[in-house]
Amino acid sequence: MSNTAEVRLGELDAALDAQQVTPQLAEELFAVVDVLDQQPALRRALTDPGLEPDARGAVIDALFGQRISPATVQVLREAAGKRWGSASGLAAALERQGVRAVFINAQQASTLEQVEDELFRFSRVVDADGALRAALADRSASLTARRDLVSDLLTGKADAATVYLARRAVAARTRSFELTLQGYLTLAAAQRDRAVARVVVASPLTGEQYERLTGVLGRQLGRAVSLQVVIDPTIVGGVRVTVGDEIIDGTVSGRLEHARRQLS
């Protein structure tokens, strides 16, 4: 992502944070995203660089002003006033704010950590089950049917916010269900002011190991860390940590592969 895009997203984040974030606001943002996804002409109108921001705002007021809350209108006007590089970029930016709104409400309810953990665990279930992964990605099946599959798997077993966001992720705005869900998890960690560290180990961490690794990484990064622990027996032993683009490989398999390359 370019620095310019990051700045625009940050400005839109601030626009949402300036509102009173309620469950209604989250639902309305997602409803607007769905309308934009279904109406290419509307997407083009709201991202037309030939239209002044005030003109785009007038379109928003005419179409949505009486149907959504003033807070949602304000976020939508802020988003439409920026250039996103493509017509679909506006919908993606608003989807981000819908996800953030769900997380803000979860944080207010003291359930954000639970929701983040449940989303990560479900992402691992999908990743490990080829048939389920294929079913969620099957575009020959309706989006509603695929979302209902997620509901069947999670309802009654996870927080309502977890179910809601997992259903949203089926649309796979970021290329696949797994990558879309990973994007959600990054936003959840950011909402808790944490970095995300993906940790691959051969066997489950004990509570002491988890706390020690969290502390070490937190000191190295200068901020609190959310660990996403993945069990992979093929690494034999040790730990592989990925934070953003940086990989710290202390696994036995990693050291053996390094030695093999040195000898070849």
H helix or E strand, kind and range, residue 240? strand 239-243
130-137 vs 177-191: helix axis angle to the nearest 10?
A: 90
Cα(169)–Cα(150) distance, integer angstroms:
10
Q: Are residues 66 and 86 in the same domain?
A: yes
pTM for the model: 0.86
Q: Are residues 117 and 104 in the same domain?
A: no
CA distances from residue 191 to 129, 186, 226 in whole angstroms, order as listed:
29, 9, 11
Residue 252 in this model has a pLDDT that exceeds 80: no
**Category of 193 on φ-ψ map: left (φ > 0), alpha (ψ -120 to 50) or beta:** left
Query: Which of 143, 176, 192 is the C-terminal boundary of a domain?
Result: 192
Q: Any alpha helices (H) in 53-175, and if so which ranges? A: 53-64, 70-80, 87-108, 112-128, 130-137, 143-154, 160-169
Q: Are residues 78 and 92 in the same domain?
A: yes
Residue 53 in this model has a pLDDT that exceeds 90: no
The residue type found at 101 is A
Average pLDDT over residues 99-118: 97
pLDDT at 112 (0 to 100): 97
| Closest CA relative to residue 227, chosen from 248, 206, 211 | 211
Domain that holds residue 117: 110-192
Cα(226)–Cα(234) distance, integer angstroms:
24
Give yes or no for a contact between 100 and 19, defined as CB atoms under 8 angstroms apart.
no
Q: Are residues 92 and 71 in the same domain?
A: yes
The pLDDT tens digits for 169-217 are 999 998 899 999 999 999 999 999 998 898 898 888 899 989 998 998 8
Residue 136 in this model has a pLDDT that exceeds 80: yes
Query: Which of 87, 108, 129 is the C-terminal boundary of a domain?
Result: 108
Q: Are residues 101 and 28 in the same domain?
A: yes
Q: Are residues 116 and 150 in the same domain?
A: yes
Give yes or no for a contact between 78 and 46, defined as CB atoms under 8 angstroms apart.
no
Query: Which of 108, 135, 168 is the C-terminal boundary of a domain?
Result: 108
Q: Are residues 83 and 138 in the same domain?
A: no
The pLDDT tens digits for 158-176 are 999 999 999 999 999 988 9
When the pLDDT of each residue in the chain is averaged and rounded to a whole number, the result is 91
Residue 20 in this model has a pLDDT that exceeds 70: yes
Cα(243)–Cα(236) distance, integer angstroms:
21
| Closest CA relative to residue 113, chosen from 224, 6, 19 | 224
Q: Are residues 1 and 97 in the same domain?
A: yes
Cα(80)–Cα(54) distance, integer angstroms:
10
The residue type found at 95 is E
Q: Are residues 70 and 170 in the same domain?
A: no
How many domains, in total, are found in the chain?
3
The residue type found at 88 is S
| Closest CA relative to residue 100, chosen from 5, 186, 179 | 186
Q: Are residues 96 and 19 in the same domain?
A: yes
Q: Are residues 84 and 120 in the same domain?
A: no
Q: Are residues 173 and 141 in the same domain?
A: yes
